[in-house]
Amino acid sequence: MGGPSASDLRIRRRATAWYNHGRSTKRHVPPAAVIAGARTLAQNHPARKAASMNYNTVEYERSFGTSSQLTPSEGPEIAFAGRSNVGKSSLLNKLFNRKKLAYVSSTPGKTATINFFRSGDVRFVDLPGYGYAQVSKSERGRWSELIEGYFNQDRNFALVASLIDIRHPATDLDETMVGFLLEADLPFCIVLTKGDKLSHSKCQAQKAALARQLELPPNIPLVVTSSLKGSGMDDLRAVIDQAIAAAEGRR
């Protein structure tokens, strides 16, 4: 596949930082190298079958409390983003067949650092949850600095898994997150969480409704999951494997 097309390189600037959603005047300008390197999964869809990685050998690597502490990417990164309590940490544990690798709590706002998990040269990145109103302004500021700081760096973004609770419409911040991912042209998928809370037919109806609400292009994968039951994990692993193969093909 050739170099990035003109549309790949197009940078559409956002008037507001995604996390602050109208509360900040800071512009998000994704680094040119990220734009150049990041294309949608479909554009990169390799004809070859992606080699699957070993999800049973993932280990905790490091946590970062500020984005300036982040060390440069050393391999493809799969980042998990979503509102607080949506089930990011639970999903990571289920994906890796581990009970307590990432910290899970029914109290929202537990993950207040960027946590890196590693298998070989692949990194899984548990981002702090957004949109939790019950924390102080300074704590919210710290979270937004972390999330924006992460996405503003020139990193090897293989895939962003954007998590949304299947029971509800996407929140304003979910919409802003997805809008940002589309505009920055980052490879991403939508992971609908807590599928065990609805019947199969309701899950399918919600999946279609969310795709409509978010105006998702047809090439963006939408995976229904339950970390309680383990459903959807193989589908998500296949999306991740494909994304890692595409990221490695770009290098």
Which residues would be at the binding site for ligand GTP (CB under 6 A)? Answer: 82, 84-90, 104-106, 108-111, 129, 193-194, 196-197, 226-228
Q: Which of 111, 115, 226, 227 binds Mg ion (CB under 5 A)?
A: 111
Tokens of 209: 């409704």
Cα angle: 58, vertex 59, 61; to 5 degrees = 130
The angle that helices 233-250 and 88-95 make with each other, rounded to 10 degrees, is 90
Q: How far is the CB of 216 from ligand GTP (least distance, A)?
A: 21
User: Is 89 or 176 the residue whose CB approaches Mg ion more closely?
Assistant: 89
User: Is 111 or 156 the residue whose CB approaches ligand GTP more closely?
Assistant: 111
* Binding partner of residue 196 among ligand GTP, Mg ion, none, CB cut-off 5 to 8 Å per kind: ligand GTP
Q: How far is the CB of 194 from ligand GTP (least distance, A)?
A: 4
150-176 burial: b if 16+ Cβ within 10 Å, else e: bbbbebbbbbbbbbbbbeeebbebbbb
User: Is 57 or 105 the residue whose CB approaches ligand GTP more closely?
Assistant: 105
* Binding partner of residue 90 among ligand GTP, Mg ion, none, CB cut-off 5 to 8 Å per kind: ligand GTP
H/E run at residue 60: strand 59-64
Question: Exposure of 76 by Cβ count < 10 A (0-12 exposed, 13-18 middle, 19+ buried)?
Answer: buried
Interacting residues with Mg ion (CB under 5 A)? 88-89, 111
